[in-house]
Homo-oligomer: A and B are copies of this chain.
């Protein structure tokens, strides 16, 4: 019997393009300002804990519920273990949220442009994406709450703009929606306030956190979801049994134990962010006020692809998006002061 295996793929998957992650070149060393990685290394406590953990125990499965890390995170963030779920990066948590709440035809709303993974995840579930365009200033469109969506996704601060809406605006959406409000706080440690207080007031608010950015652990894939215990129970049902490996669990625990290390790096990055923003404005860019570890710089109506390419030729990677909303922008991760100096010098050459 002849089987045509591609004919067996779900139509929803066949017609998808698939999400394209940012360039992670394996060949040479660039000044990498394209993936919002932290330019500073993780805490020495993390590396020390990892060194101690490398041994015979790698033959054993990890704790499927990650209880030690959950207890630590509970203490740090003022929650209980039962309000916390650990994911293989917050990408996995996004996948779990979609699988838990979104069936065929269910609506998922988010302001755009945003993380393009949302589109892909909704398509996989055969849900309906309700994409609400941001106004030019990236302020939060209030009609987000009027979409009859089962899930609303909000990056807080927003990516790729770096902007942070007032907490009262976010709360208004929580109050008006009849769905679940997922607040993705991957970049929150770089901002001046968190939406965490909303978690205590609204059982339909879910927060996501990441160790990839502020804790300098993108390579180890650790994310946290904070939610009402009854929702955590449901999310656990769709979790792969042993979703987070032993070493990542240990690294995350050690990172939380050295919270001050993270804060010091964040302070440095915030200072550099101010300098970068100022310098880009002096170069004629419109730069959104960023509360994240990146900035979005726009030259109204001027395609930035040549600039992106020129920087790449000079060994500097930044993020360029070809979409109509963002083709005239560059998204630049805040690196070290030295990296930003090199970026600015190259940029000056390219635009003069």
The chain A residues found within 8 Å of chain B, CB to CB, are 1, 3, 5-6, 8-14, 16-19, 21-22, 24, 26, 32, 35, 37-42, 46-47, 50-51, 54-64, 67-68, 88-89, 91-92, 95, 99-104, 117, 120, 124, 126, 150-151, 175-180, 202-204, 212, 216-221, 228, 230-231, 234, 236-238, 240-248, 251
Contacts and interface: CB of A to CB of B under 8 A. Distances in A.
A293 B26 CA distance: 37
B42 A176 contact: no
How many copies of this chain? 2
15 contacts: A3-B203, A6-B231, A10-B101, A10-B102, A12-B103, A21-B61, A24-B61, A35-B61, A58-B251, A59-B218, A88-B88, A89-B242, A91-B242, A221-B245, A247-B248
A247 B234 contact: no
A308 to B, nearest CB: 19
B179 A8 contact: yes
Given A10-B103, A117-B241, A50 B54 contact: yes
Nearest to A120: B237
A206 to B, nearest CB: 9
B13 A100 contact: yes
Given A3-B179, A89-B242, 18 more contacts: A5-B228, A13-B99, A13-B238, A18-B237, A21-B242, A24-B60, A24-B62, A24-B64, A32-B60, A41-B55, A47-B55, A88-B88, A91-B242, A91-B243, A103-B126, A104-B104, A219-B245, A247-B247
Contact of A218 (B13, B60, B68, B176): B60
A interface secondary structure, majority: loop
A35 B241 CA distance: 12
Contacts of A151: 8
Nearest to A145: B1
A32 B61 CA distance: 11
Nearest to A218: B61
Contacts of A89: 240, 242-243
Most buried by B among A1, A8, A17, A204: A8
A59 B88 contact: no
Q: Which 4 A-B pairs have the closest CB atoms?
A: A219-B246, A18-B237, A59-B216, A41-B56
A234 B9 CA distance: 8
Which of A47, A103, A219, A236 has the most chain B CB atoms closer than 10 A to its own CB?
Answer: A219
A76 B16 CA distance: 32
Contacts of A236: 18
A19 B242 CA distance: 11
A150 B91 CA distance: 28
Nearest to A42: B58
Contacts of A68: 26
B240 A91 contact: yes
A62 B219 contact: yes
B230 A6 contact: yes
A82 to B, nearest CB: 15
Contacts of A59: 37-42, 216-219
Nearest to A40: B59
